[in-house]
Amino acid sequence: MNVLVTGGESRLGGAVVAELASHHTLRVWGTGERPPEFGDEVKWVTGDLRDPDVAWDAVRGMKAILHTGEPPPGLPEGELEREQALLDLATRGTHVLFTAGVEAGVKRFVYGSTLEIFGAYPDDVYITEFWRPKPSPEMHQMTRYLGELTCREFARDHLVAVTALRLGKLVVEEEVGDQDPDLMWVDIRDAARAFRLALNRDAQTEVKWNRRFAVHHICADLPDGKYVVGNRWFQLQGFEPEHSFEASWKGGGA
């Protein structure tokens, strides 16, 4: 399948590319120089996510779009200017990208949202995809949630399958073994595998829009965790997080 991946310079983007490279034909969107670890089989495209002409060139010939939601490097240094840019990329940028995709005939879209929109809930509850998000004004939460809502409206208005992956806090298990554990951790390699499996979701012909749109929670599968990991559809795809952060839970703090 021809797949466009955004956020090519980010660590998540790199992990998604590594996960998909042997399964799909990739076009990766970034804003600067091509990362050296990408093989020659990966096509690299650059430009501003909010530019409709650039977006149109990037999506042509694609069968699916994986929008990681990761911000590009080189954002303004000032706090206010940086937050304005992040908000604009998450909303207008996502809208421009998905509009170009719909016009180009793309039927499958995947978006990287965040589980942090549930951070306001206490840790002694068991949160599923049916719980109501409570995003704070913190910019990472707000921008990802607004991006998710933008994606949802495309599923409402068009015959396309849109999957929002609410990712936990992205880490690498081997790098956090000496840290206090976090109920929201997800190994970035498990997150990348979730992106790959989400491509299998073939719901664009569903008559009801809320069947064309789906959300899945992606984090480590802990015995007494706070979040349901995926739902039955994801489980049927064979998704099971491979990284449980056992060393942190045995030797870490609370």
So what's the pLDDT on residue 166? 96
Domain extent, residue 164, equals 2-251
Phi, psi of 128 (to 5 degrees): -105, 180
Residue 170 has pLDDT above 60, yes or no: yes
pLDDT band of 233, cuts 50, 70, 90: confident
Query: Domains in the chain: how many in total?
Result: 1
H or E stretch covering 170: strand 169-171
The strand pairing partners of 215, in sequence order, are 164
What average pLDDT does range 62-66 have in this prediction? 98
Per residue in 194-225, pLDDT (tens digit) is: 999 999 999 999 999 999 999 999 999 887 78
pTM, two decimal places: 0.94
pLDDT class of 248 with cuts at 50, 70, 90: confident
CA distance 43 to 129: 35
Please report the pLDDT score of residue 230 as a whole number. Answer: 66
| SS3 of residue 76 by DSSP | coil
Distance CA 216, CA 134 (A): 16
Helix residue ranges per DSSP H, 43-128: 52-59, 79-88, 94-103
pLDDT above 60 (res 252): no
Q: How confident is the model over 73-103, as pLDDT tens digits?
A: 989 999 999 999 999 999 999 999 999 999 9
Specify the CATH number for the domain of residue 225. Answer: 3.40.50.720
Q: Contact 100/190 with Cβ under 8 angstroms? A: no
Per-residue model confidence (pLDDT) at position 198: 95
